[in-house]
Structure 1
């Protein structure tokens, strides 16, 4: 993996004006090499700076989401495995809003495609899915590109504090409504 990253870095650096295109492709192919989003965004920040690295990372992450959408349609077995993971993590009790999904994408220990699967299940078509995927990709692209070195080099205690902060944000941004079915509301007690 390290050799692949080094070669990719050199290739993109020497590509000139095609560098951004190859960087977006690197985002798409990173999943085949099990490279975390954080690492690719760090490379983008180093190569293109915070502004352009963030823009290219948002485009790359959105492209990955669209490719994932297509793969889910072709290989339903992948969807089944991720659905089981989603059930373990979310327990079918959460209606996540866009802000919560943005925070989830920021959390490095949450699988990238778990959020993508949730988006697929809560959108009506590929256009709406792509739009929401674009929005949800903005926070990790900016944070990992701009502050990736700081996040990556934090000591264990700093990483734990940052993770707790993200969990706190996730909880504070949840929907605050309760849905009660008609039968539950008017349920009679048998005595």
Structure 2
């Protein structure tokens, strides 16, 4: 087993610029194959190291977010249904700050594109969406690449403690305001 891992590492080192390109493409295509973000980032940390793995994962996650943006704009009916589901499960008035979105992206059981939907909702244009996506993708790209393997091998109690701490941070950093629209209280007569 160790010999095959060494041979894979050798092939990647000798492939030059193709290995990072294929890795970034894997990030974009992983959603088609239902591969979790954490697994791809872990692979990046193993294959490229912490620094380059984080950079390649960040680029791949940005391209994934941009693909979501393009699909959302090309198919507005799908986006409308996604916003309906978000409203149904999270309520109309639930807002998250960018810091909350960065924290929740660290939770591997939260779907990546749920946060992309929130980013789409708060963005005015593609440039702003890309900027917010960049910030929201930094924590998972770094943490999953650098420490993901270590987190996976922690005992269950420590893993649950880490998730609990992230949940507490998520709760206390959140926005404390609720916005109600005039139409929620008064209906216009036609």
TM-score (normalizing by structure 1): 0.82
8 Å contact 2:93–2:180 — kept in the other structure? no
Question: Equivalent residue for 1:40?
Answer: 40
Deviation of residue 158 (structure 1)? 2.5
Question: Equivalent residue for 1:147?
Answer: 147
8 Å contact 2:119–2:129 — kept in the other structure? yes
Question: Equivalent residue for 2:55?
Answer: 55
- Is the alpha carbon distance of 1:77 and 1:154 closer, same or farther for their aligned partners in structure 2, counting shifts above 3 Å? farther
The superposition leaves residues 118-138 of structure 1 with CA deviations (integer Å, 9 ceiling, x where unpaired) of 111111001100111011000
Question: Equivalent residue for 1:121?
Answer: 121
The superposition leaves residues 107-155 of structure 1 with CA deviations (integer Å, 9 ceiling, x where unpaired) of 1111100100111111100110011101100000000000111222233
Deviation of residue 179 (structure 1)? 5.1
Question: Equivalent residue for 1:160?
Answer: 160
Correspondence 1:104-115 to 2 at 5 A: 104-115=104-115
User: Matched residue of 2:31: which SS?
Assistant: helix
Deviation of residue 65 (structure 1)? 0.2
- Is the alpha carbon distance of 1:57 and 1:179 closer, same or farther for their aligned partners in structure 2, counting shifts above 3 Å? same
More deviation in 161-170 or 76-85? 76-85
Question: Equivalent residue for 2:185?
Answer: none
Cα RMSD for the two superposed structures: 2.5
- Is the alpha carbon distance of 1:176 and 1:94 closer, same or farther for their aligned partners in structure 2, counting shifts above 3 Å? same
Deviation of residue 15 (structure 1)? 2.9
Gap runs ≥5 in structure 1: 1-5, 183-191
Question: Equivalent residue for 2:130?
Answer: 130
Question: Matches of 2:79 and 2:180 in 1, distance apart?
Answer: 29
Question: Equivalent residue for 2:101?
Answer: 101
More deviation in 87-96 or 51-60? 87-96
